[in-house]
């Protein structure tokens, strides 16, 4: 697997963007943005398109020398994937549901059958057919009607996360003429199997803000608006209670929750608030039978589980405590069954499940790997005595288990098959703690191939990070990372503040006015890993996407000398300008995360780290930037502007390439094989840098 013959050579003339000064004044401060012109909400500006194509051409020419390596890596990545595969059937109502992929198909086929052996399987959807000639296709939600005769599904063909809903009669295979445009993607059936509810999006902000009721056989223009959210800081979602008695509108900002409900047997009724909205109160609620189960942060920073009835749910002072708050344990969620609850808890960064029976007896399910990812899998039916859980670690491929809820005994149903020469015993994972500059202990998950690692400071390192929204990046198996590990790389996940690895306070220490902690943690981990012999200081690469792309942009401004190469995906880079513009999708939802720069105090906080605003005349690492032209979360012009300004300001001769997928959105390319091309490109970039 030698890569010594592959190299990157710097081309003399990268694209140079024109400078057109644009003045931005806030709080008596004025910034001049020379590349503001690159924003085109309609995505039709000829000058913008020409420059993006020029960047794509330059990227391909710049990386032409590693094309054989990219192709080799793509073949490696694809060669580890089982071409003919299927999911384990799951029972929901009368039928068992599963999906299959075959040969070189990019997408799955979805089936149901009357038994687990699927001998009489019925094709519900062939996503390959639906995708047709679209360059991008994402299947959103698939929802079977309560009478099990109808199917609703949503699809996105642009990557903007704006979905169209369609309906199918399962007995005949005929499609309904009903088409619901511009939705959030969720479809919830009322119990009459003739009425559905959906969330409609504002096409400017891409914010779901209205819930409509649709009756099959009627035009969308006749749909009835049943709820509209006036506060633009809330995300909106739809669901159904565990017992299917309630249709639920979930509303959430980063720091506040709200829930509205409707009797699923009375679709023409009115939604009502379950409990009064209270700023700072975050909760998640479900219902089974006569009991509501509420995971709440009320007087509980790390959340606790409480119960209520229909008569007490509106007054939280009447709720009953089921599982109390603990300072060192984060309660992440609960799965409800007729005779059991499964609590998902996290302590010292590690997930565990606690099964509670109806007598209050508790059984803890734990795992052996030093670091891992575990989650409750699909369990549609509450009247069972076993539950499915998913498990994976940095050395263990994804595994689906059936767990006896009485004994805790786990039965492996299926483990992801990795083709080729993979043997888990060749690899080792570790969880270490790194002391940050302020004394905090920051978790790091590591994996390497045993025979290629000596902890003597000679190995290359790829360090990944995210650190935002309280999202925990748990260490799970990635077959693509094997192409790095087999070439001697150490792979590290930096569980920096801004995530929730060590509880709610870990998140709070990495947001708003404390955001700099995220960057400090990442930088301090890099220094510690090289000092402790995990990596050669001149062979460190780093990667991050979206808010993790912001992380990359900040650390290369603040500590560029630490990194040989950077992978920056769909990156959020122009934080100050974006957060000052409410017309940009999702801006108002983000105030609780970054702060609202219309407040002078938060303006100063964001201005101090915003990657675009802090580019300066200095040497930067080699950088590969990738984005999607139709990205709904982070607009394409953020990385476009950042690259243009970097080209203008940086003092080095290192590589800076920018690739825009003109057909994709925030999630990158669609399809199980096409998306591997992006992974192969980044891996090849890092490997080739070591040869330069």
For the annotated catalytic residues, the residue numbers are 546, 631, 666
Strand partners, 461: 490, 540
Instruction: Give the max Cα distance, the chain.
Output: 73
Report which of 562, 542, 581 is spatially closest to residue 685, judged by C-alpha positions: 542
What residues contact residue 122 under an 8 Å CB cut-off, 6+ apart? Answer: 111, 112, 113, 170
E strand or H helix at 602: helix 600-609
Strand partners, 656: 623
Report the half-sphere exposure of 165 (CA within 13 A, side-chain side). Answer: 27
Alpha-carbon span 351 to 500, nearest angstrom: 12
**Torsion, Cα of 371, 375, 377, 380 (10° steps):** 160
Alpha-carbon span 285 to 280, nearest angstrom: 16
Helix 516-531 to helix 547-558 angle (10° resolution) is 70
**Torsion, Cα of 531, 533, 685, 58 (10° steps):** 20
Which DSSP string do the residues of 48-102 spell out, in sequence order?
HHHHHHHHHHHHHHHTGGGHHHHHHHHHHHHHTS-SSEEPPPEEETTEEEEEEE-
10 Å CB burial of residue 538 (0-12, 13-18, 19+) is exposed
Strand partners, 25: 30
Alpha-carbon span 610 to 597, nearest angstrom: 12
SS3 letters for 406-463? CCCCEEEEEECCCCCCCCHHHEEEEEEEEECCCCCEEEEEEEEEHHHCCCCCCCCEEE
Report which of 419, 341, 432 is spatially closest to residue 387, judged by C-alpha positions: 341
Alpha-carbon span 172 to 155, nearest angstrom: 21
What residues contact residue 642 under an 8 Å CB cut-off, 6+ apart? Answer: 553, 571, 573, 574, 611, 612, 615, 625
């Amino acid at each position: 697997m030698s890569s010594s013959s592959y190299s990157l050579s710097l081309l003399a003339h990268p694209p140079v963007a024109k400078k057109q000064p644009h003045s931005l004044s806030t709080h008596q401060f004025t910034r001049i943005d020379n590349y503001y012109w690159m924003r085109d909400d309609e995505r039709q500006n000829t000058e913008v398109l020409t420059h993006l194509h020029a960047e794509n051409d330059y990227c391909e020419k710049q990386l032409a020398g590693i094309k054989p390596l990219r192709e080799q890596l793509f073949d490696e990545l694809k060669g580890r994937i089982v071409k003919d595969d299927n999911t384990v059937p799951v029972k929901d109502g009368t039928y068992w549901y599963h999906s299959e992929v075959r040969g070189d198909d990019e997408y799955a086929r979805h089936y149901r059958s009357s038994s687990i052996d699927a001998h009489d399987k019925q094709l519900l959807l062939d996503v390959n057919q639906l995708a047709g000639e679209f360059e991008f296709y994402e299947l959103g939600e698939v929802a079977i009607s309560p009478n099990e005769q109808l199917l609703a599904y949503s699809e996105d063909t642009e990557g903007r996360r704006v979905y169209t809903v369609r309906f199918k009669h399962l007995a005949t295979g005929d499609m309904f003429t009903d088409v619901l445009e511009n939705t959030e993607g969720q479809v919830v059936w009322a119990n009459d199997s003739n009425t559905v509810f959906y969330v409609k999006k504002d096409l400017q902000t891409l914010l779901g803000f209205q819930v409509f009721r649709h009756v099959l056989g009627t035009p969308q223009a006749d749909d009835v608006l049943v709820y509209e959210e006036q506060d633009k800081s809330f995300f909106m979602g739809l669901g159904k209670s565990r017992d299917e008695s309630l249709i639920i509108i979930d509303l959430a900002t980063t720091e506040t929750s709200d829930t509205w409900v409707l009797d699923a047997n009375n679709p023409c009724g009115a939604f009502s608030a379950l409990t009064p909205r209270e700023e700072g109160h975050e909760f998640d609620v479900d219902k089974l039978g006569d009991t509501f189960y509420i995971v709440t942060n009320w007087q509980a920073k790390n959340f606790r589980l409480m119960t209520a009835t229909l008569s007490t749910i509106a007054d939280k002072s009447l709720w009953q405590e089921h599982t109390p708050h603990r300072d060192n344990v984060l309660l992440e969620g609960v799965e409800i069954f007729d005779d059991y609850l499964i609590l998902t808890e996290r302590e010292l960064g590690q997930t565990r499940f606690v099964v509670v029976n109806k007598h209050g007896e508790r059984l803890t399910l734990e795992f052996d790997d030093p670091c891992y990812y575990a989650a409750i899998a699909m369990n549609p039916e509450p009247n069972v005595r076993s539950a499915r859980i998913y498990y994976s670690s940095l050395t263990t491929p994804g595994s689906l288990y059936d767990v006896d809820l009485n004994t805790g005994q786990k039965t492996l149903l299926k483990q992801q098959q990795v083709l080729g020469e993979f043997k888990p015993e060749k690899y080792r994972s570790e969880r270490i703690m790194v002391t940050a500059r302020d004394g905090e202990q920051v978790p790091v998950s590591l994996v390497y191939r045993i025979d290629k690692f000596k902890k003597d400071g000679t190995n290359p390192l790829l360090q990944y990070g995210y650190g935002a929204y309280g999202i925990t990046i748990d260490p799970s198996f990635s077959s693509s990372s094997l192409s790095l590990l087999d070439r001697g790389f150490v792979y590290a996940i930096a569980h920096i503040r801004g995530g929730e690895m060590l509880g709610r306070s870990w998140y709070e220490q990495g947001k708003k006015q404390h955001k700099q902690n995220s960057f400090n943690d990442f930088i301090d981990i890099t220094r510690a890993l090289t000092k402790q012999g995990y990596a050669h200081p001149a062979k460190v690469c780093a990667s991050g996407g979206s808010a993790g792309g912001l992380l990359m942009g900040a650390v290369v401004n603040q500590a560029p000398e630490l990194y040989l190469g950077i992978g920056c995906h769909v990156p959020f880079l122009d934080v100050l300008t974006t957060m000052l513009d409410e017309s940009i999708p999702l801006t108002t939802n983000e105030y609780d995360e970054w702060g609202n720069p219309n407040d002078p105090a938060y303006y100063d906080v964001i201005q101090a780290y915003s990657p675009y605003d802090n580019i300066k005349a200095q040497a930067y690492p080699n950088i590969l930037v990738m984005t999607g032209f139709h990205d709904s979360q982070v607009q394409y012009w953020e990385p476009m502007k950042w690259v243009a300004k970097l080209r203008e300001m940086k003092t080095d001769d290192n590589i800076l390439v920018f690739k825009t997928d003109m057909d994709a959105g925030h999630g990158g390319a669609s399809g199980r094989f096409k998306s591997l091309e992006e992974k192969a490109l980044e891996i090849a970039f890092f490997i080739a840098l070591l040869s330069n």
